[in-house]
Amino acid sequence: MTKTYKVLLVEDEPGMQKLFEYNISKAGYLCKLASNGKEGLELAKTFMPDIIVSDIMMPEMDGYQFRKALMNDPVLKGIPFLFLTAKGEEDDIVKGYDLDINDYIIKTASPKIILTKIASIIKNKEKERKEALHEVQSAAGKMGASVVPSEFPHFLGYEIKHWHQPFQEIPGGDFIDYIKIDDSNLIVVLGDVMGKKWGAWYFAVAYAGYVRSAVRFVTQNNSSATPAEILAKVNESVYHDERISDVFITLSIVSVNNIEDIIRYSGAGDLPLIFKGKNVSSINSGGLLLGFDENAEYENFELKLSPGNGLYLTTDGIPDSRNAEGESFGLERLKETLLNIPPDADGIDYVKEKFKDFTGGRTDDDISLIMVKML
């Protein structure tokens, strides 16, 4: 599916608004309008455009003030920016470039030139992003530091799969792991390190290593060790590691036993586990975030499964993502979506489809969803 790029146009003259919006939309872009910098700043936070085109002379907050406000926002400062102006004086151009803009568009320029500039800047930005992504993925591969399995685990009597989509296709803070203890016991792990992209990914690698070490330690003499025991061991290790003890992370751990068909679950600061049987219910772990208290205690929750029952683990990327109107997908909508999965449908694919219909493919964070379903 071809991506529809989003343009935020900030212009106070109604005539110019209509002219530019018409040509930008006709070229296949999704265009939203703001009448001054103040409106543009608020709209940028929810719309998250691929490029911003802004007038300079506007009421309330002019273009220069608007640009400075964007540069002070860690999320918005990287969005490509074009000044739209009737002026072509040297001082105005220099002042704009001092604010690290990409280019100027003179209002009297033809629509073809304006659209060519927009397309060129978006193309170059995409090229830079893909090159950076390739470098990170290459480095991760050389380090053997993948934090999301490329294949789903094979576990007798169960279908286990996940959907993972890193924010802007750059490895980030979510990590997933499946650790097979023996033919009857499997550990499922879902973690979410605060932040996005490379910085969060670095800590996700460290945490994933701690979790694996904790599982080995706890299960070496007891294959039925509980998720709460594993969490307690991870917490103890994190507490004593100054590199990561101050980094916020949520962690969900589930153990699956295919002899008794029992699921045990424990979590630390995570979103509720969602259980789907005839109805949909959720379990809130209430576990303390990792690294805050060396002696923190974690609770086990136990579920007995029947054929067709499933459970779902997610990080906050899905519920926090918003549509073009700024409305969050939300945890309740996720539960409703899970409740309405048709009997013959793939649960992960169904959620993915409904999520993308709602958000238009827009995400605000890494996306992770794990399904454990008894066949």
- Spans of all domains in the chain: 6-140, 146-374
Q: Give residue 133's pLDDT band: very low, low, confident or very high (50, 70, 90).
A: low
Judged against a pLDDT cut of 70, whether residue 132 lies above it is answered with no
Report the DSSP pairing between strands 103-106 and 81-85. Answer: parallel
Tokens of 145: 């530091």
Of 292, 260, 297, 255, nearest to 273 by C-alpha is 255
Judged against a pLDDT cut of 80, whether residue 370 lies above it is answered with yes
What homologous superfamily is domain 6-140 in, according to CATH? Response regulator (3.40.50.2300)
The string of pLDDT tens digits covering residues 283-328 is 999 999 888 888 999 999 999 999 999 999 999 999 999 888 889 9
Q: Is the dihedral of CA 340, 344, 348, 354 positive or negative?
A: negative
Task: Name 164's bridge partners.
Answer: 368
Cα separation, 81 vs 359, in Å, equals: 24
Per-residue pLDDT at 90: 62
Judged against a pLDDT cut of 90, whether residue 40 lies above it is answered with yes
Give mean pLDDT, residues 56-79. Answer: 91
Higher-confidence residue: 156 or 150? 156
Residue 210: partners with Cβ closer than 8 Å, 6 or more residues away: 234, 237, 238, 241
Q: What pTM does this model have?
A: 0.66
Helix residue spans in 190-226 (DSSP H): 197-219
Judged against a pLDDT cut of 50, whether residue 1 lies above it is answered with no
Give mean pLDDT, residues 221-245. Answer: 81
Of 14, 16, 12, nearest to 24 by C-alpha is 16
Average pLDDT taken over every residue of the chain: 86
Per-residue pLDDT at 144: 44
Assign domain 146-374 one CATH number from 3.40.309.10, 3.30.310.50, 3.40.630.10, 3.60.40.10: 3.60.40.10
Q: Are 112 and 26 in contact, with CB atoms under 8 Å apart?
A: no
Q: Are 156 and 183 in contact, with CB atoms under 8 Å apart?
A: yes
Q: Which residue has the tokens 């490029």?
A: 51
Cα separation, 27 vs 4, in Å, equals: 11
Give mean pLDDT, residues 81-100. Answer: 76
